[in-house]
Structure 1
Amino acid sequence: MNRLPLSRVTRVALVSLMSLLAIPACSDDDADGPYADPNPSKGPGEETPDAGPPDSGTDSGTPDSGTPDAGPTVWPQEFTCTGKETHTLSFAPGQEQQLQNAVNDLKPCTTITLGAGTFHFDNAVTIRQDGITFQGAGRGAKGEATGGAASTVLDFTNAAANTNGLDVVGKLFTLRDMALWGAQKDGLRVENSSNVFIQRIRTEWAQPNLPTNGKYGIYPVKSRYVIVEDSEAYNASDAGIYVGQTRYAIVRRNIAKQNVAGIEIENTKFAFVEGNTAIDNTTGLVVFDLPGNPIQGTDVLVTKNTITGNNRKNFASDSGSSSTVSQVPAGTGTFILASRRVEFVGNTWGDNNTVDIAVLSGLAIEPNPVLWSAGFFNFSTSDVSIHHNTFLGGSGGNVDSGETNPATRPLGYLISNLYAYGKAAAGVDRVEHVMWDGIDPAPRNENVANGMNLCFSNNTLPAGAKASVVDLDLEAVQKKLTAATPDIVGAWAETRRYNQGAAPFNCSGFAPALKLP
């Protein structure tokens, strides 16, 4: 189809065309979000950040994602306890004040062991020291608000407003075997830290679907060399497990359920996301960049994850909210936005009411390219390879789970109305497995087919599957739908569908191959 290149659209026209899809961009509260720190990627003692990741990763097309018992990842260590004096402290339920006093006066290289049972706090537990290990007796089971004989629960239900549960800044930090319950803000927040190991923890809020729940369950941000594994996150009003503005991260074998977003990888370089389960969230697993951040996310491998049935009503607060996910339609399995060199292999999608995978340009959330300058104009999505995955079916037939709202979730509203016409007029009864907004590359080069290099090949599809990829051409569609006399027939005619194996999306990925942790 003929499209108007962005270079020929006036600024006013571009903003007008994109206004329906404008999503407020940020990942956190205004005080602590990505705009607060002019260089959030750097922390004390950080070594050359872009020297490249360890060469232990994958080969494009046949990734070696390792096994659960493959052994520790070898990364540079910015702090070591080798040769230093070490300390051990132990606390039992009822000794909360002694614990708070101890963490306020921690020495480096201290191991804190919490006994089984429930610890009640009226404020955050704040750690500002290096070489700290914080461990309990076990994370317990979903819904367990009190610790048992083999579990430790830190209960922050009655803590001061707008405080995190466990709040950490430090090098060589390990947290394992406990639950963080009912935090007022984020369950676990780790910031400006390095060599972070988060193992076998659970973050949870008592009631599902409450916008007043804490925003993030597990939240490492502005950090380096982070591992989140064998953990669980439930009922967060933004993301259950989030890794953002970070270099080198592994997120594996975790469970995220009943959150707005199950797992988020945001403005992060070199991330390995393996073997996770994201079910019953609003959106299951997302990879994206936001404007105003100097880290340009790249090299993300998503493999062996289960991303099904993510149809929970979006309960993120939209009253003055700065959260991207507050605008996501329920039933979005995965969305990719302003991302590059992202590979999906060996994953399973199905029963996601809106779409299995949405591929979007950053200009869909912020149409002014100047505002993307901090990340070297990182608004374009490119090099997305989706291959050797399994699509179970049952997706795309009930956009936003039938509760579209043009004010709060405009993208879902547009898609729902477009496909309602498509079903009646063309017999297209569901959104295809992969929905591309058709914006990137921008400005457009109409002489380059699939200039963004979105590849969809060798996937297992449901029996009788027809088209697998749709180019919505949202600029043209929106222009026709928002004209003085809306043209739904013309809007539908602007969309294009492609079977698996059909050009131009039958490409074979990207080079050089990913080199991941």
Structure 2
Amino acid sequence: MRCLPPSCAPRAVLLALVGLLALPACSDDDDKDGAETPDAGQQPTDAGQQPTDAGTRNDAGTDAGTGTDAGTDGGSTVAWPQEFSCEGKTPRTLTFNPGQEQELQDAVNDLAECTTLQLGAGTFQFDSAITIRQNGITIVGAGKGAQGEATGASASTVLDFSGAVSNSNGIDVVGKLFTVKDLAIWNAKKDGLRIENSTNVFIQRIRTEWARENEESNGKYGIYPVKSSYVIVEDSEAYNAADAGIYVGQTRYAIVRRNVARKNVAGIEIENTKYAFVQGNTAIDNTTGLVVFDLPGNPIRGTDVLIVGNTITGNNRPNFASVEASSSTVSQVPAGTGTFILASRRVELTGNTWGDNNSVDIAVLSGLAIEKNIQLWQAGFFNFPSSDVFIHGNTFMGGSGDRVDNGQVDPRRRPLGALLAGVYGYGAATQGVTQVEHLLWDGIDPFMHDRAQLNPANICFTGNALPPTTQAAVVDLHLEEVSRKLLSPTPDPAGAWNATRRYPQGAKAFNCPGFSPALALP
């Protein structure tokens, strides 16, 4: 498991850090609403400054399609390229109702291309995955039903995998021009909907869910397209995944819009993906709401991610990811993280809303925070830096950053949370700073510039609506120096605090106009 600096420290040093965490004046029992922030700070006079073609782009992505049915179901007008088409082929429709599970599985094993599987309303019970290995397949049910609905009704179709063999997915797909819509996947042993090495994938009105909350034995991923291209996930829901509810990974061209992710470790996850548009989603009551990151060892260098009009609030669920079974990155995230961006570039966030995330609203981190060996990043052309992150025109409601990791810090499992708690515990006790700022940058310079260059990663924070009491909006945590100060045999919390820098919105260092060329996404 890759570890952030504190989790790799000797046990004695970790014990010293735990002792340091007892320093804060604001204890675990503090009233969240009672903390006050300093007086309002300077607001930028040129808050609206940005490249003329950056804008909010609330209509971006509406003209992207997957092909045959994107124009009718997705509201799309222009199709993406297709590697496979059903044009000129004879389509087939096979209809199945609850009680015909074996007939359905038999048909799946002998599918012809361009077949629609029409599933009736009610509950289907499966003891193994529905495995699709054909092109031009559509699976459609009667409706996804409501959260918590384990039994299909007259207007919903539930595929129940509670009795399936261990380590099996729910629906498992490899194919071109695949569509699935209007059904729920319940209690999959592994991933709910797994789609791999596929193109022109259309996922609409799907619900993936596990019956029990906060169980590390739940499946890792709800909706999981990976190593694919031209993917749309829309109007879907994901609950109780032990890693990510909605995940798009190692993919080129993806649209994730109007979805709901709740009660997962990570709500929505965009990983090692090029050209992603994430619009109008709701990520509430997860450990972390929305994450964008690259991992080492993957040849796809993630870039060009546009995040527009999402609601990312109240993501304070305890981290229940299994350290052994989940990705090490997600298992280390402190509860209360709205969004983290790690080893990513050309990421724009506009028109979104953050608030009531106990640890921090947005964290921008270098990949070196989880893996210091630069050679391990070689597969992705040394993609460890985070750079060109443009955060503008968003709303920060407040109520965030005042109870890091819900006050339940664990230096071994969630080291960044322990560091933050140590630094801000000292800040609360001696400096009157009771909240982590809205944007946290780890201060790890991707290009090894002199520290006198204040923003070498080109992180721009401008024109955002902040609570009226906000003074500092951005913190340069200087993670490397903070780690040295707090993890030394004789911890130096004052030195760690002094290594950090805070900036109001509008401060020159982060008052920049984004990046060029601007994002050009479908």
The alignment's TM-score, normalised by the length of structure 2, stands at: 0.88
Q: 2:320 aligns with which of 309, 315, 318?
A: 315
Greater RCO, CA 8 A, separation 6+: 2
Correspondence list, 1:152-171, <5 A: 152-171=157-176
Counting aligned pairs with the same residue, the percent is 69
- Shifted more, 441-450 versus 409-418: the winner is 441-450
| Superposed CA offset, 1:441-492 (max 9, x none) | 2423446431110000000001111100000101111111112211111110
Counterpart Cα distance in 1 of 2:407 and 2:144: 36
Residue of structure 2 equivalent to 1:328: 333
Residue of structure 2 equivalent to 1:478: 483
> Which runs of 5 or more structure 2 residues have no equivalent in the other structure?
10-51, 63-73
Counterpart Cα distance in 1 of 2:75 and 2:174: 28
Correspondence list, 1:66-105, <5 A: 66=60, 70-105=75-110
- Does the 8 Å contact 1:292/1:371 carry over to 2? yes
Residue of structure 1 equivalent to 2:240: 235
SS at match of 1:467: coil
- Does the 8 Å contact 2:338/2:362 carry over to 1? yes
Residue of structure 1 equivalent to 2:57: 63
1:217 aligns with 2:261: no
| Superposed CA offset, 1:267-286 (max 9, x none) | 00000000000000000000
Residue of structure 2 equivalent to 1:37: none
| Superposed CA offset, 1:301-358 (max 9, x none) | 0000000000000000124654311110000000000000000000000000000000
CA RMSD of aligned residues (A): 1.6
Cα distance, 1:227–1:456 mapped onto 2, change above 3 Å: same
1:65 CA drift (Å): 2.9
| Ranges of 4+ aligned residues in structure 1 off by more than 4 Å | 66-70
1:353 aligns with 2:339: no
- Does the 8 Å contact 2:473/2:502 carry over to 1? yes
- Does the 8 Å contact 2:313/2:356 carry over to 1? yes
| Superposed CA offset, 1:362-420 (max 9, x none) | 00010000000000000000000000000000000000011101111111011001101
SS at match of 1:414: helix
One-letter identity of the residue aligned with 2:211: A
One-letter identity of the residue aligned with 2:269: E
Counterpart Cα distance in 1 of 2:195 and 2:77: 21
- Shifted more, 194-203 versus 479-488: the winner is 479-488
Counterpart Cα distance in 2 of 1:209 and 1:73: 41
1:424 CA drift (Å): 1.0
1:172 aligns with 2:166: no
Residue of structure 2 equivalent to 1:28: none
1:19 aligns with 2:5: yes
| Superposed CA offset, 1:130-170 (max 9, x none) | 00000000000000001000000000001000000000000
Aligned residues: 468
Q: 2:286 aligns with which of 268, 277, 281?
A: 281
Counterpart Cα distance in 2 of 1:456 and 1:488: 28
Residue of structure 2 equivalent to 1:116: 121
Counterpart Cα distance in 2 of 1:22 and 1:169: 39
Residue of structure 2 equivalent to 1:248: 253
Correspondence list, 1:186-205, <5 A: 186-205=191-210
One-letter identity of the residue aligned with 1:305: N
SS at match of 1:370: helix
1:67 CA drift (Å): 8.2
- Does the 8 Å contact 2:220/2:326 carry over to 1? no
Cα distance, 1:328–1:146 mapped onto 2, change above 3 Å: same
SS at match of 1:359: strand
- Does the 8 Å contact 1:363/1:369 carry over to 2? yes
| Superposed CA offset, 1:91-143 (max 9, x none) | 00000000000000000000110000000000000000000000000000000
1:413 aligns with 2:418: yes
| Superposed CA offset, 1:211-241 (max 9, x none) | 0000000000000000000000000000000
Counterpart Cα distance in 2 of 1:358 and 1:161: 36
SS at match of 2:514: coil
SS at match of 1:400: helix
Correspondence list, 1:454-473, <5 A: 454-473=459-478
Counterpart Cα distance in 2 of 1:73 and 1:169: 24
SS at match of 2:116: strand
> Which runs of 5 or more structure 1 residues have no equivalent in the other structure?
1-14, 24-57
- Does the 8 Å contact 1:22/1:364 carry over to 2? no
- Does the 8 Å contact 1:60/1:510 carry over to 2? no
- Does the 8 Å contact 1:117/1:153 carry over to 2? yes
Residue of structure 1 equivalent to 2:14: none
Cα distance, 1:438–1:21 mapped onto 2, change above 3 Å: farther
Residue of structure 2 equivalent to 1:44: none
- Does the 8 Å contact 1:229/1:253 carry over to 2? yes
1:74 CA drift (Å): 1.9
| Superposed CA offset, 1:178-217 (max 9, x none) | 0000000000000000000000010000011000000000
Residue of structure 2 equivalent to 1:396: 401
- Does the 8 Å contact 1:270/1:300 carry over to 2? yes
Counterpart Cα distance in 2 of 1:22 and 1:65: 45
- Does the 8 Å contact 2:424/2:434 carry over to 1? yes
Residue of structure 2 equivalent to 1:8: none
